[in-house]
Copies of this chain bind each other. A is one copy, B any other.
Amino acid sequence: MTALGIDVGGTFVRAGVVEADGRIVASGRVALDDRSPEAVVEAIAAAAHRAEERAGATPAGACGIGVAAQLDGGGGQVSVAPNLGWREVPFGALVSRRLGRAVRVVNDLKAAAWGELRAGAARGDREVYVLFVGSGVGSAIISGGQLVWGARGLAGEIGHIKVVESDGRPCGCGKRGCLEAYAGGHSLIAQMREALAAGQASETSLAGLTPVVLEQAAIAGDPAAREIYERAIGHLGLALGNQITVLNPAHVILGGGVLSHCSQMRERVADRALRLAAEVSRRGVKISQAALGDDSGLIGAALLASEAGP
């Protein structure tokens, strides 16, 4: 039985008709110019329509939607979605009404982790830790083959652990010194902008600056880029090493735009994590790259919607 999976990103909404094994039958994409809840709901309807038209059928199964948001409880209520500029939006109810069907709204990283578990790099594993570094930093914990949700569905928020306590960088969450404020893609660029504005030595231009360009500049020895890049690796590697110590995963999956495309950063974070993790916990742990790329979210959302869950 096919299900409908939807991934709400910062710039696009993607919908896909997904088989029970995670294969995408057909998909559709709609650009997000306006990020108001109403506009996002319309984009979802349009993307779903395209995917269903291409598949030649309406999916008989459930509908799952992954969104980069902190959700409160299982009803699709968004507490806060910084990238979309939302606060307290009854997103699940809005989408459900527009599509005329029940939907399950889940955090985008939990959806992506579930996609990797069921159809990607962690297929068949039961104890998995998935670390995503894209524009933000997040993670998902899989224990006994099941997602760890936490009391209100917020488990995995590794981006907001404190890594610098006094005078830390401000974070999108409103606090300071969070991991994401040093290692998220948005923060990497922001730090470079600040370094240049402060007159730090650098040959790097802000025009077209991406995390990949920053990585290349750091490797080439650009002083400002190097400092930011090394600090990000330092914080990410320590955080991941400590998660390996505490969670004892069999398999760690590294994904998200930054860790997928900055290959040297990915390798160095993995090496550093293994060096810092407790001897016994790291024994036998495997660290891999996410396998499904941008598809993991919609695949996982579709498959999660087909499961019982909070």
Quick one: CB contact mask for A223-245 with B, threshold 8 Å, 1 for yes? Answer: 00000000000000010011101
Q: Are B144 and A280 in contact (CB under 8 A)?
A: no
Most B CB within 10 A of own CB, among A150, A175, A243: A150
Q: Are A245 and B143 in contact (CB under 8 A)?
A: no
Give the residues from 100 to 157 in chain A that come closer than 8 angstroms, CB to CB, to chain B.
126-127, 139, 141, 143-144, 146, 148-157
Q: Does A250 contact B (CB under 8 A)?
A: yes
Q: Name the contact of A153 in the complex, choosing from B238, B241, B248, B283 (C-beta under 8 A).
A: B248
Chain B residues, Cβ within 8 Å of A245: 157-158, 160-161
Q: Does A167 contact B (CB under 8 A)?
A: no
Q: Give me 7 A-to-B residue pairs in the complex whose CB atoms sit less than 8 angstroms apart, sorted by A's number.
A: A70-B280, A141-B148, A141-B246, A152-B283, A173-B278, A173-B280, A174-B279
A148-B143, A162-B241, A238-B165 are known contacts. Are A281 and B154 too (CB-CB below 8 A)? yes
Q: Does A89 contact B (CB under 8 A)?
A: no
Q: Are A146 and B144 in contact (CB under 8 A)?
A: yes
Complex Cα–Cα for A241 and B210 (A): 32
Q: Are A242 and B154 in contact (CB under 8 A)?
A: no
Q: Does A92 contact B (CB under 8 A)?
A: no
Quick one: CB contact mask for A69-93 with B, threshold 8 Å, 1 for yes? Answer: 0101000000110000000000000
Q: Does A285 contact B (CB under 8 A)?
A: yes
Q: Does A199 contact B (CB under 8 A)?
A: no
Q: Does A249 contact B (CB under 8 A)?
A: yes
Chain B residues, Cβ within 8 Å of A278: 154, 157, 160-161, 173, 175, 178
Complex Cα–Cα for A245 and B243 (A): 12
Q: Are B162 and A276 in contact (CB under 8 A)?
A: yes
Q: Are B156 and A127 in contact (CB under 8 A)?
A: no
Complex Cα–Cα for A176 and B104 (A): 45
Query: Across the two chains, which residue of chain B brings its CB closest to A143?
Result: B148
A238-B165, A246-B161 are known contacts. Are A280 and B79 too (CB-CB below 8 A)? yes
Complex Cα–Cα for A56 and B141 (A): 46
Q: Name the contact of A250 in the complex, choosing from B80, B151, B175 (C-beta under 8 A).
A: B151
Complex Cα–Cα for A246 and B285 (A): 20
Most B CB within 10 A of own CB, among A141, A174, A243: A141
Chain B residues, Cβ within 8 Å of A243: 246
Complex Cα–Cα for A65 and B85 (A): 52
Complex Cα–Cα for A139 and B278 (A): 14
Given contacts A127-B149, A143-B148, A161-B242, 14 further A-B contacts (CB under 8 A): A72-B280, A141-B148, A148-B247, A150-B248, A151-B250, A152-B280, A154-B248, A157-B245, A157-B280, A158-B245, A160-B278, A162-B238, A162-B241, A162-B242
Q: Does A208 contact B (CB under 8 A)?
A: no
Chain B residues, Cβ within 8 Å of A160: 245, 278, 281
Query: Across the two chains, which residue of chain B brings its CB closest to A125?
Result: B151
